[in-house]
Amino acid sequence: MLKISLSKIQELFAAIAADEALYIPADHAGQPEFMRWSEGMAMTDALNTVRSAKDFFFPQTEDLVSFKMEGKSIEIIDPRTETEDFVVFGVRACDARSFSILDRVFLVDPVDSYYANRREHGTIVSMACSRPAETCFCHSFGIDAAEPEGDAVCWKTEDALYIRANTEKGEKLLEKLRPMMEEADEAPVKAQQEKTREILGKLPLNSFTTEKFGGDVLLKVFNSEQWKSLSESCLGCGTCTFVCPTCQCYDIRDFKTGSGVKRFRCWDSCMYSDFTLMASGNPRTSQLERFRQRFMHKLVYFPANNDGIYGCVGCGRCLSKCPISMNIVKVAKCLEGEL
């Protein structure tokens, strides 16, 4: 394990940014967001960013292909420029786990080459939590906030940053940083982990579990009477899906540029009324059906098709951002009474 004094963290960032783009969680217009580091930019004190780190691999909008027309000929242009290596620093344990969920969607056959390209070029440096919030429940999905996944993992104490590599990419990064760091004893990290786990044990959602959704419950959950009362206040705003690190729905559209066509994709939300709109009509005509779809996907369909892995990492974003205070914990607690 390596260590560097917090007073030298800007030097550490500069060393990383010398060779590749570096993104850190920083305060921007009063909100914690991942930002491209530039000299003097400090890390936020907030626990987590408003939007998750999934943006780096699955951005909110991206160009897929362009078609340029001249007379009867059509030129097909691949607009991809994501060949730059980058480091995402300070990813929390919940977001670090979300990548393995997204991988199960985008890296299975047929592989999404846009996503795969970004995954190949990105190095994830996660940051252990020391002050988990009341909305956190990552441990419900077997995530240890004191020991996150990632190519490399950091622990920030009062005066120092400790860092350890988990993968080859992480080793490569640390090799470069080694001259400015010192070998460190793990004792301060172990002490912080113990404290963090003590706090996690006292959090209000400590005993929350989705275990009951893992079995053969599809029809029982789908046909529950509870969906009516759970969904009746939902505004269909899609906030829960946009802040969620594991939501992966998107739309593909063509845009006429005048001299050709640009095809792009953008995030979509199963909470939107036109999400399933097709030429033949819309199979989900009520907010109840749309609301049910989101939670069925995370709690039932995804685990049924992915070795029991749920489509949630317990980041708590939907708990704090939904304008009607609806969230996956309320839904699961309400439905589990019937299982």
| Of residues 159 and 232, the one with the C-beta less far from ligand SF4 | 232
CB of 134 to ligand SF4, least distance (A): 13
Q: In the chain, which ranges are continuous DSSP H helix?
A: 9-17, 93-106, 113-121, 168-177, 187-202, 218-222, 226-231, 239-243, 287-296, 302-305, 317-321, 328-336
User: Interface mask (CB under 6 A) for ligand SF4, residues 263-302, using x and -?
Assistant: --------x--------------------------x----
The letter for the amino acid at 240 is C
The span of 60-68, 156-164, 219-227, 239-247 binding ligand SF4 (CB under 6 A) equals 239-247
CB proximity list for 113: less than 8 A, separation 6 or greater: none
Interface size with ligand SF4, residues (CB under 6 A): 25
In this chain, which of 17, 217, 322, 335 binds ligand SF4, going by CB under 6 A?
Answer: 322
Q: Does 200 bind ligand SF4 (CB under 6 A)?
A: no
User: How are beta strands 86-91 and 21-28 bridged, if at all?
Assistant: parallel
DSSP, res 298: I
Q: Does 303 bind ligand SF4 (CB under 6 A)?
A: no
- Alpha-carbon separation of residue 182 from 140, 152, 162, 170, 192 (angstroms): 35, 16, 10, 17, 19
Angle between helices 93-106 and 113-121 (to 10 degrees): 140
Q: Does 93 bind ligand SF4 (CB under 6 A)?
A: no
CB of 331 to ligand SF4, least distance (A): 9
Q: Does 318 bind ligand SF4 (CB under 6 A)?
A: yes
| Of residues 173 and 244, the one with the C-beta less far from ligand SF4 | 244
In this chain, which of 117, 130, 157, 239 binds ligand SF4, going by CB under 6 A?
Answer: 239
Q: Does 316 bind ligand SF4 (CB under 6 A)?
A: yes
For tokens 């620093």, the residue is 89
Q: What pairs with residue 233 in β-bridges? A: none
Q: Does 206 bind ligand SF4 (CB under 6 A)?
A: no
In this chain, which of 16, 127, 315, 335 binds ligand SF4, going by CB under 6 A?
Answer: 315
Angle between helices 9-17 and 168-177 (to 10 degrees): 120
| Of residues 203 and 240, the one with the C-beta less far from ligand SF4 | 240
CB of 320 to ligand SF4, least distance (A): 9
Q: What pairs with residue 5 in β-bridges? A: 160
- Alpha-carbon separation of residue 228 from 273, 299, 304, 317 (angstroms): 17, 18, 24, 23
CB of 240 to ligand SF4, least distance (A): 3
Interface contacts to ligand SF4, rule CB under 6 A = 234-240, 243-246, 271, 298, 312-318, 322-324, 326, 328
